[in-house]
Structure 1
Amino acid sequence: MNPKKLLLLTLSIFIFFTSNTFAEVTLPKILGHNMVLQRHKKVAIWGTAAPAEKISVAFAGQTKTTVADKSGKWSVKLSPMKASFTQREMTIKGINTIVLKNILVGEVWLCSGQSNMEYAMRKYSKFQTAVKGNKPPEDDLNTANNTNIRIFLDRRKYMAPSPEHLGWDTAIGRPIVDFSAVGYYFAKDLYARLNVPIGMISAAVPGSRIEPWIEASKLEFEPKLKNGKILDKLGTDDGDAGKFYDTMIQPLIPYTLKGMLWYQGESNCFLNENIRYAYKLKTLIESWRNDWKDKKMPFYFVQIAPYNYSASKDRPLTAEQLPEFWEAQKLALHLKNTNTIAITDLVDSIADLHPGYKWEVGRRLSLLALNKAYGETNVVYSGPTYEKMKIVNNSIEVTFSNIGSGLSSRNGRSLSWFTIAGADGKFVTAKAEIKGNKVIVSAPEVQHPYSVRLGWNEAAQSNFINKEGLPAVPFRSDNPWDKLFK
């Protein structure tokens, strides 16, 4: 053989074996120093290596071994563990050895959505100028000192594997500045009740619609209503389907989680969406749960805040567009282990798309998680929620769930933002009186009432609450979608 050809062949063989046989173990960005692992579940640890390379993962007295597949991918699952404040090391061995330090075991949640979820702690000064309710009890931006709350800020351009393994931080000092305020306060309040380490992953992008958060192929279907009507294919909406899923969600899979928090919808509300959004949200929930192989994973979302969408110059929206969107969000409650919080009372101006009461949003989400995900059923997590109505003479008797220790008026005045209509569908302002766990609604102009609504306007901030101070959830008894959604 020609000496030059022999040299080239030798070099080719050497390059092949060094790139495949001696490839180093690599970990995804989400696995790193300072992370929190989910308690009471099998914990996924994964990465890449050379094909057929033997890998071992040692942590907390257990060692799991595996062999990388033909493409170099490998994964193991650690056995379920109890919560632990002990700062332990994890050792991953292949051709090389990686040691991850300062790891805790506790509760891990993913929070995602658009700007109101991304809304960072650096905007703390806006919290201090909030008009309603209590201010945050302390300046967490400058005084936070709990090393048992850990945060991971998912940045779409920086999710590639990193040899430094430094994606996670303690929620103290500089790292907290850019982190989601809702996510941080959720963690802070959850920690106060559970007393276990809390890990929060924030993956949110300002202005994003829901479509970029869903794997594109999952949107390529035509929703069918229960009456047989078929909607247009969801994938035809120009929303950059899968854009953020590919770069921000997929790199997290299958990091073991307790649950997911979602605060998004303003961008889709501006597009005059209702039932179509309901199917997109359903698709997101089901597809993410499928990705994490946990069909029962808790998924909790925030009902977006009052805002004057009808002032939009881009589309002819009415003052009822937002209530209809709330209705679409609530249709996701047809899925098991989903729930929502209302924040109609946390707005100083309906001209502000980003109200500053993020500490209270985080607190309410923590109340919801405590009740539903952690079984603390004595925790009241929601304001009065419409259950049923009954026509009694010339009035409507409305029954509510989530009454807490009783129904009330926030300011002691007559209940506001109730309307009533006869069979003609013409709604008028109504008188509403509390009687036990019911509200009696009537209006002189409507002698034969047929339907009742609460807060059916983008500006509605009703004073109707339970005695725990949580606002009633807006509703209309003449909801056209509830019986059609599937």
Structure 2
Amino acid sequence: MKLFLSIFLILFLAQSSHAELVLPKILGHNMVLQQGASVAIWGWADAGQEVIVEFKGQHKKAIADTKGAWKLYLNPLKASFDNASIYIKAGKEQILLNHILVGEVWLCSGQSNMEFAMRKLAKLKPPAGANWPVNEVAEANNKSLRIFLVERKKMNPDSTHSGWNEATAPALGSFSAVGYFFAKELQQKLKVPVGVISAAIPGSGIEPWMPAEAMLKENFFNNTNGDSTHRIKDASGKFYTTMIESLIPFSLKGFLWYQGENNCFLQERLEYTYKMKSLINYWRTKWENNKLPFYYVQIAPYYYSKAKDRPYTVYSEPEFWEAQAAALAISNTVMIATTDLIEDPADLHPVNKWDVGERLATSALSNTYKVDSQPAMGPLFKSAVKKGQSFIIDFDYKGTGLKSNDGAALSYFEVADEKGNYHAATAMIKNNKVWVNAAGIKNPHSVRFAWREDAKANLFNAEGLPALPFRTNNKLKDQFNPR
């Protein structure tokens, strides 16, 4: 299926003799270009036309092909707070893009919890003593933090070259809160301009964010029944075509992803893990960089078990968390936990998006930029060793040590007996591992932790990040092939 943008351009160029030189919407005033990378500049002109691009002393040329498309790359740039201009010329047509910065650029995508707009913060009523950024939109005045909101029906090229904005009111009010707080934290630590692009649609599954071919490359989907394949073809590509493909090949540092509620309602498990693999691999391929970081968010605790006419239990969401966590086997991925950030599990859209954004920034600062000694995520189950009637549990991402976040005994640990029935267990930190024991269980078989939709467990690392829920008899992880 041809991109609607291409169709638009064919008609546009055929009918107008006054707009031979056209740029994609993502290239515009106020944008941030990725430092240290070959930066793509592209567009459309008359077939065979020479296009000249000048920026910061660089002078580049390209020739439009038979369809009028042209593309060139600027040499890697150094971060700069100086507002500069890009000059583009083709024949008698000229474009001047102003207020251009060079720094770090990230793309955030997903469904409603990523789309959650900054303006909603002003309506919140913080609990007594809470430090909630309810006035952030009104007070924000950082002109070197730039935002681009991908609006599905407004990605056609136009002569205004608009779309990028400084992260101030009123544009900031409509922008992703997760994306903004991520960018704000990143800039404070890196001391460079930051640009963040938000492409998110409430209620969207993962499938519309990639074409069917991305999933059908996987043997897993080709070996499923015909109904599943048919559903993939029906659901795929809708938002990718209009909201992601139109950004390629704009140079990025990485991706942020907050999505899954829709697929959790469908009770997907291993199927979702493979869909994440398909999405990650496809996006990386299209951006021609198989190492681009992909940092994503554990879907927030929610009372799925209380949904009407649905066969969910309190364990349905933890099973989906397990499917999300399995994707960590894919290179250069991190998943942040949200189990401690929820005020009310009855709310599918928890308001605390600032900590989500800051945790994603911590992942980037630690894992991508290597400038932060903090672990990239909370403690992640690594191994379990059975010793008598106890299990000794070890973790990755322990930071400077495991701890009880509230000083109380560790909570939400359970041990299964020979019949697979789970019983509440005692757990304690010893030698920076967790020792788990259930009284009266002579032959324990497995351990699970925080294994219910509303669990608010207290096992953290010393840096303040919660451990991710897990069960030691995780069969899904063994069924997933990340390669």
How high is the TM-score relative to the length of structure 1? 0.92
Q: Secondary structure at the match of 1:46?
A: strand
1:144 is aligned to 140
Q: Is 1:397 paired with 2:426? A: no
SS at match of 1:389: strand
**Shift in CA distance, 18/320, structure 1 to aligned 2, threshold 3 Å:** closer
Q: Does 1:262 align with 2:254?
A: no
Query: How many angstroms does 1:448 deviate by?
Result: 1.4
Which has the higher mean CA deviation after the structures are superposed, 316-325 or 113-122?
Answer: 316-325
Q: Which residue of 2 aligns with 1:117?
A: 114
SS of structure 1 residue aligned to 2:381: strand
* Cα deviation 1:150-202 (Å, max 9, x = unaligned): 00000001000011001100001101000000000000000000000000000
SS at match of 1:260: strand
- In structure 2, the residue matched to 1:106 is 103
**Aligned partner (choices 161, 172, 178) of residue 168 of structure 2:** 172
What one-letter code is carried by the residue in structure 2 that aligns with 1:164? T
Which position in structure 2 is the counterpart of 1:378? 373
Deviation at 1:221, TM superposition (A): 5.0
Q: How does 1:35-184 map to 2 (within 5 A)?
A: 35-95=31-91, 96-125=93-122, 128-129=125-126, 134-136=130-132, 139-184=135-180
* Equivalent residue letter for 2:418: A
1:381 counterpart letter in structure 2: A
Return the offset for 1:274.
0.5
Kindly report which structure 2 residues correspond to 1:77-476, keeping only aligned pairs within 5 A, or say none.
77-95=73-91, 96-125=93-122, 128-129=125-126, 134-136=130-132, 139-221=135-217, 223-224=219-220, 230-232=223-225, 235-237=229-231, 240-376=235-371, 378-476=373-471
Q: Is the 8 A contact 2:122 2:134 kept in 1?
A: no
- Using the alignment, how far apart are the partners of 1:480 and 1:355 within structure 2? 30
Q: Where does residue 3 of structure 2 map in the other structure?
A: none
Whole-angstrom CA distance in 1 between matches of 2:394 and 2:124:
35
Q: Output one character per residue of 1:196-242: Cα deviation in whole Å (capped at 9) or x when no partner.
A: 000000000011111111113323356439xxx94346542266211
Amino acid at match of 1:42: S
Q: State the identity as a percent.
A: 48
Match status 1:481 vs 2:481: no
Larger deviation: 171-180 or 231-240? 231-240
Indicate conservation of the 8 Å contact 2:374/2:463, yes or no. Answer: no
Structure 1 or 2, whichever has the larger Rg, is 1
How high is the TM-score relative to the length of structure 2?
0.93
SS in 2 for 1:147: strand
After superposition, the C-alpha distances for 1:230-280 in whole angstroms (9 at most, x for unaligned) are 434654226621110011111101110000000000011001110111111
Deviation, 1:372, is 0.7
- Tell me how far apart the structure 2 counterparts of residues 185 and 375 of structure 1 sit (CA, whole Å): 19
- What is the CA–CA distance in structure 2 between the aligned matches of 1:68 and 1:21, rounded to whole Å? 16
> Could you tell me which amino acid in structure 1 is paired with residue 432 of structure 2?
N
Do the aligned partners of residues 91 and 222 (structure 1) sit closer, same or farther apart at CA in structure 2, a change above 3 Å counting?
closer
With over 3 angstroms needed to count, the CA separation of the structure-2 counterparts of 1:44 and 1:130, relative to structure 1, is farther
CA apart distance, 1:91: 0.5
User: In structure 2, what is the Cα distance between the partners aligned to 1:243 and 1:445?
Assistant: 55
User: Which blocks of at least 5 consecutive residues in structure 2 are unaligned?
Assistant: 1-12
Cα distance in 2 between the residues matched to 1:158 and 1:356: 28
CA contact (8 A) 2:152 2:242 kept: yes
- Please give the secondary structure, in 2, of the residue aligned with 1:237: helix
How far apart are 1:134 and its partner, in Å? 5.0
Q: CA deviation at 1:126?
A: 5.3
Partner of 1:13: none
Q: State the distance in 2 between where 1:258 and 1:314 align.
A: 43
Deviation at 1:24, TM superposition (A): 1.2
Q: Aligned pair in 2 of structure 1 residues 94, 375: CA closer, same or farther (>3 Å)?
A: same
1:29 counterpart SS class = coil
Are the structure 2 counterparts of residues 137 and 129 from structure 1 closer, same or farther at C-alpha, using a change threshold of 3 Å? closer
The 3-state SS of whatever aligns with 2:186 is helix
Equivalent pair of 2:392/2:436 in contact (CA under 8 Å):
yes
Note the residue ranges of structure 1 that are not aligned, 5 or more in a row.
1-16
Structure 1 counterpart of 2:107, one-letter code: L
Deviation at 1:445, TM superposition (A): 2.9
2:4 maps to what in 1?
Answer: none
Shift of 1:355: 0.6
For the structure 1 residues 381 and 135, does the alpha-carbon distance in structure 2 shift closer, same or farther, using more than 3 Å as the test?
A: farther
Q: 1:206 to 1:25 in 2, by over 3 A?
A: same
The answer for the alignment partner of 1:7 in structure 2 is none
The CA distance in 1 between the partners of 2:168 and 2:280, in whole Å, is: 31
Are the aligned partners of 2:55 and 2:86 in contact in 1 as well (CA < 8 Å)?
yes
Alignment RMSD: 2.0
